[in-house]
Each structure stands twice: as C-alpha cells, then as structure tokens.
Amino acid sequence: MRRIEAKAYWDKRYSKSLDWCLEPSVTAKRFLNYIYENNNFENRFKILDIGCGYGRDSIFIANFLRNSQIIGVDVSKVAIELATSLKNTLSLNNLLFIETDALSISDKKLGNSFDFVLSHLFIHLFDYKGRLSLYQKFKNLLKPKGLFFFSVPTVYDEEFRKGKCLGIYTYKNDRGVTKTFFNKDKITCEIQHHGFEVLHVYREKEIHFHSKKHVHDLFVVIGGKT
C-alpha cells in the first residue's frame, strides 16, 4: 500500500472501531517485563512507539513508566485523534502523539537518543526496501545500545498463504492489506544485516476479536543497536 492508500485504509478502519480494544499487545507486555526484570521502573527513558494506532501500547507504557517520555507516531489522523483523546482522559502528561508517515520521520523531527523504539505489527506492512529504510531510521533515532522491540507475523500465522501471492513470504489479503510473514531465520538475518544484534526472539500468540475471533502467531524480537 502506498502512503495515501494506507492512510485512507487505516482512517476508515479506526473510524469504525478500536479493533484491539485497550488490551496492550504482546510486544508492549514483553517490553514492560524487560523493564521489570531490569528493575528500571523509576528510570527516565525516551520511548518511541512507531505505527502506534490509537495508542493502546503507548498508553499502557506511559501509565507504568511515569518518569519516562513516550512519543507515539502514526500515519492515520483518526488514530492520532483517538489516541490523544484517550491520553487526555487519563491525564497522562508524559505522552505525545504525532500524525506522520514513519518513512519521513527523522532524528531532526523527533530528536535522537531514544532508549527504546517499539513497533507492534507494523514493519511487516512494508516491502523490503521500506523495511530497510525503517531500520536505518530507527538506528539513527536510538542511542548507542538502545533497543528495538517489535513484532512480525510468522509463517505459522493462519493468514500466511491466504489472498494474492506477491512473493514467497508476501500476500495481499482480501481487505487489500499486503503483509510479509517471517520464519525465525528470515527475521534474524534481516535485522542482523541492518545494524541490530538479535537479543531475543519470542514466539507468541495474540487473540484478536475484530470481524471474528482469530489467533495471530507472532515473533516478538528484541534487537540491540550495534
């Protein structure tokens, strides 16, 4: 999907419902678990949530890490309006939502030295060239030793090989969304070759209830900037 199409698609989808409710994603839960295990709840982190949607993960994190500063970005105007309104209702002052295309973000726009970049079910929406551009941007935004927490659908996901085949791992579904699916080697090699050390790859299930109940099979990956 080109940017304009993506924006229209997601604006329309978010106008109808909050598809994933306010339950945080498996990526956000893994992230908070990492913070807990490292006893870092009181630290002041800078955290970027890319493709944040209506902000369910940013809000969850901002609520727990009150000393940290969280920025959520998304291309959908409707998503950012919803996220901002939820943030205001909850009086979270450590959180900012920005409507922008991830492919045009830069350290000049957002500042650099983020401790963490998070991104749940986002990078699989881009083709290889787009993903490489995103990895480069995330590297520039992260401080040395910063961490990239993200998720992608696996080849064991029920949607793999459904819809129009655009490549061995890439399918366009009946809603017109193009998704790339990954096995462990593919995601590991891809990020290793683009400036990240793979620290963990977790296989997770995430249940979604929009349309009809379905279960996604995902990898949640922690990459360390090298």
Ligand X SMILES: C[S@@+](CC[C@H](N)C(=O)[O-])C[C@H]1O[C@@H](n2cnc3c(N)ncnc32)[C@H](O)[C@@H]1O
Binding site for ligand X (CB under 6 A): 3, 6, 10, 20, 25, 51-53, 56, 74-76, 79, 101-103, 120-122, 125
Give me the least distance between CB of 29 and ligand X, in Å please. 12
Q: Does the CA dihedral 2-123-111-89 come out positive or negative?
A: positive
Nearer to ligand X, 189 or 215 (CB): 215
- Residue recorded with tokens 């419902």: 17
Nearest-10 Cα torsion for 126, 25, 141, 70: 140
Shortest Å distance, C-beta 119 to ligand X: 7
- In the complex, least distance from residue 95 CB atom to ligand X, rounded to whole angstroms: 15
- The CA–CA distances, whole Å, from 176 to 55, 71, 141 equal 23, 29, 31
Shorter beta-carbon distance to ligand X: residue 74 or 115: 74
- Give the residue with the Cβ less far from ligand X, 108 or 175: 175
Read off the tokens for 145.
Answer: 């030793």
Cα–Cα distances in Å, from 108 out to 46, 79, 80, 141, 146?
15, 24, 21, 9, 18
**Which CB atom, from 3 or from 164, has the smaller least distance to ligand X?**
3
Which structure tokens are listed for 122?
Answer: 């986002």
Please, what is the minimum distance in Å from the beta carbon of residue 177 to ligand X? 8
CB atoms within 10 A of CB 113: 11
Which residues face 67 on adjacent strands?
Answer: none
Considering the complex, what minimum distance in angstroms separates the CB of residue 124 from ligand X? 9
Contacts of 49 (CB under 8 A, 6+ apart): 55, 57, 58, 61, 70, 71, 72, 73, 118, 119
Nearest approach, Cβ of 37 to ligand X (angstroms)? 23
| Residue with smaller CB distance to ligand X, 90 or 103 | 103
Q: Which is nearer to ligand X, 25 or 94 (CB)?
A: 25
Question: DSSP character for 3?
Answer: H
